Amino acid sequence: MDFDVQHHARTLALRVPAHLRVGPFVCRFNPSWSSPFANYAIPDDHAEPTRDDVSALIAAFRQRERRPRLEYLPACAPDVEKALLAAGFEVEDRPPVMACQPQNLDMPEPLPGLEFREPRSDDDLDELAAIQHRAFGEPGDPEPGMGAAARRVYENGGILMLALYRGEPAGGGSCSAPVDGMTELGGVAVAARFRRRGIGAAISAQLTSAAHRRGYRLVWLEPADEAVQRVYAGIGFRPVGEKLNISLPG
């Protein structure tokens, strides 16, 4: 299943207009957002990069004023990490990758007062983007129009979900565009004053259920920490591999 997940991530990277191929790497760049989580490379399966390949990769990131960084499943390209470490890269972390198939989803008990809708209006999309902006600690205040990026998610075949608690926007998340029946669950966020009620788990379950109803065979994700991993395990997600996040300091 590692190769399936890696294929999904690489295919989405290739759909980004600003993507670039450098040797055995696909680089995903975001010209308008410098966050390292929006700018990274993925190696080809079974890649064996040379020193020149890694140097060219670093140069491509430097030219765009981005930190050289990779996100990938090391089981799909075991020789890449050694080449990166030799060039000065440092491991950030090795989070698990989890996945849920339709037969494994365990929907939580309904939370009174909690409703869901797939946002389409500019106001709803901006509200979702603002909740995510604050929840993920992005700098500055949310600005009008931030929901434009979310709109592209569903326009490209993905799924958006906005949760309302007693009529107030409380959280949300998304599933990426499908590739070969697979989608990535991400961006799950809950506004600070609505936390510790089980809303995050409910959002994740609703998104996963929506993906399964549309015929997706697998929903995968990368949990932020062990506490979040336990939440996903509680609704049916199981570990299927390990991801490597690695970057060049400085």
**Tokens standing for 29?**
């760049």
Q: How many structural domains is the chain composed of?
A: 2
Q: Pick the last residue of a domain from 96, 129, 154.
A: 96
Q: Pick the last residue of a domain from 96, 113, 137.
A: 96
Q: pLDDT band at residue 120, thresholds of 50, 70 and 90?
A: very high
Pairing of strands 238-242, 25-28: unpaired
- Residues shown for the chain: 250
- pLDDT at residue 144 greater than cutoff 80: no
Q: Do 223 and 229 form a contact (C-beta atoms < 8 A)? A: yes
Query: pTM value?
Result: 0.86
**Tokens standing for 128?**
């979702």
**Residue 70 one-letter amino acid:** L
- The answer to whether residue 123 is domain-embedded is yes
- Tell which residue, 6, 20, 40, 12, has the closest CA to residue 152: 12
Cα separation, 184 vs 54, in Å, equals 28
Cα separation, 100 vs 184, in Å, equals 10
- The answer to whether residue 227 is domain-embedded is no
Domain containing 208: what range? Answer: 102-216
For residue range 210-226, list pLDDT tens digits in order. 999 999 999 999 998 89
pLDDT at site 138 = 79
Q: Pick the last residue of a domain from 76, 96, 116.
A: 96
- Both 120 and 76 in one domain: the answer is no
Residue 108's domain is classified under what CATH number? 3.40.630.30
